[in-house]
Amino acid sequence: MLGNLRNLGPASERMLDRAGITTEIQLRQIGSVKAYRAVQATGQKPSLNLLWAIEGALTDQSWQAISQQDRLSLLLALEQTS
């Protein structure tokens, strides 16, 4: 259950569920950028806070603690997948 992961509350879990990502294993396999893109592909309009929250969930840190360098890397990866 994704809601058990740090940063992923009910709203985030619903967004990921609508994108077909329902387990921690799936989330880890797909990674934060592809998971964010999958949410967007469903027509949902997530903010970048979802990307930070997913990354924090996968690295077991608060979404607010994601470093500027890591955020930039995520944004660059996001741009490359568009």
Residue 45 belongs to what domain range? 2-80
**Number of folded domains that form the chain:** 1
pTM reported for the whole predicted model = 0.94
Mean pLDDT of 55-77: 96
Q: Report pLDDT for 59.
A: 96
Q: Report pLDDT for 3.
A: 83
CATH code for the domain in which residue 56 is found: 1.10.150.20
pLDDT, tens digit, for every residue of 13-53? Answer: 999 999 999 999 999 999 999 999 999 999 999 999 999 99
The burial class, CB within 10 Å (0-12 / 13-18 / 19+), for 14 is middle
